[in-house]
């Protein structure tokens, strides 16, 4: 969980720097309004990915490779569906969610612009986060670390 929190915080800080330079303080406010949505989506991805990784480890220890294949396939399908659902819910209730997380009338247009971009990328980010945990358990920590470089 530590690499999840540190990695997202680093991306958020970089977003804050570049958006602050290019847009200003309203752009920074918009990223802070959208950030909880990202955290919720990635928490779901870590939930699925780490659960699948634990299952993966147990079944590999038992020597049951067929269950490992099914488990990995099911977890990839589950995180893909979860990513699509999170994106669909976010986009369906876009403005109310942004207002719930603190968007004001002044921040709302900036949060909408930033939120659309984040929403479209959520399924892909969720899938990569979940698969990363399984890659680490498979015995490829260097590849897992490389796969998270964006």
Q: Please write the tens of the pLDDT for every residue from 15-63.
A: 778 877 877 878 788 888 998 999 999 999 999 999 999 998 899 889 8
In total, the chain counts a number of residues equal to 150
Any domain includes 68: yes
Full domain range(s) for residue 45: 2-142
Number of domains in the chain: 1
Would you place residue 146 in the very low, low, confident or very high pLDDT band (cuts 50, 70, 90)? low
Any domain includes 147: no
Any domain includes 31: yes
pLDDT of residue 70: 92
- Within 8 A by CB and 6+ apart from 115, the residues are 30, 33, 34, 37, 90, 94, 98
Q: Are 77 and 131 in contact (CB under 8 A)?
A: no
Q: How far is CA 10 from the centre of its chain?
A: 13
For the chain, the average pLDDT equals: 84
Any domain includes 29: yes
pTM > 0.85: yes or no? no
CA 100/CA 76 separation, integer angstroms:
30
Tens of pLDDT, residue by residue over 59-106, are 988 988 898 889 989 999 999 999 999 999 999 999 999 999 988 999
Would you place residue 121 in the very low, low, confident or very high pLDDT band (cuts 50, 70, 90)? very high
Q: Are 32 and 25 in contact (CB under 8 A)?
A: no
Q: How far is CA 107 from the centre of its chain?
A: 23
Q: Are 49 and 127 in contact (CB under 8 A)?
A: no
């Amino acid at each position: 969980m530590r690499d999840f929190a540190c990695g997202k915080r680093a991306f958020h800080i970089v977003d804050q720097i570049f958006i602050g330079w290019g847009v200003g303080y309203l752009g920074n406010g918009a990223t802070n309004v959208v950030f909880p949505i990202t955290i919720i989506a990635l928490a779901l991805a870590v939930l699925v990915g780490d659960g699948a990784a634990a299952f993966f480890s147990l079944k590999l220890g038992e020597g049951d490779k067929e269950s490992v294949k099914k488990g990995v396939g099911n977890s990839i399908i589950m995180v893909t569906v979860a990513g699509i659902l999170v994106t669909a819910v976010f986009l369906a209730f876009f403005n109310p969610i942004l207002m719930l997380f603190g968007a004001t009338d002044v921040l709302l247009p900036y949060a909408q612009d930033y939120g659309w971009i984040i929403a479209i990328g959520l399924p892909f980010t969720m899938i990569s986060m979940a698969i990363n945990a399984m890659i680490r358990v498979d015995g490829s920590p260097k590849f897992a670390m490389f796969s998270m470089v964006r």
